[in-house]
Amino acid sequence: MAEDKCGVAGCDEVAVRSYAREACEQAGLKPENENARRMRLCKEHNKQFKKATKTDRKLETLGR
Ligand SMILES: [Zn+2]
């Protein structure tokens, strides 16, 4: 595991960031290694992750 590869199942891109696996799963990203504590994300999945978490926050605010 020397390379910083994206941890999303089926994705082979170079990772740019890493997050807690749980947070990634909540954002709708499927981890390749479901036992990992952290998950690396490539540029594209990082974008998806941010979008998903932003949407969540928005919905939360609207619900209040
Ligand atoms: Zn990816």
Q: Where are the domains of the chain?
A: 15-59
**Measured in angstroms, how far is the CA atom of residue 35 from the centroid of ligand 1?**
18
pLDDT for 50 beyond 50: yes
Residues with CB under 5 A from ligand 1 (ion): 6, 8, 11, 13, 42, 45
Mean pLDDT score, 11-32: 96
Place of tokens 């490539």: 42
How far, in Å, from the CA of 43 to the mean position of ligand 1? 7
User: For residue 17, which of 42, 35, 38 has the smallest C-alpha distance?
Assistant: 42
The pLDDT tens digits of the residues spanning 24-46 come to 999 999 999 999 999 999 999 99
0.85 exceeded by pTM: no
Instruction: Give one DSSP letter per residue of 1-63, joined into a string.
Output: --S-B--BTT--SBEEEEEEHHHHHHTTPPBSSTT-SEEEEEHHHHHHHHHHHHHHHHHHHHH
64 C-alpha to ligand 1 centroid (Å): 33
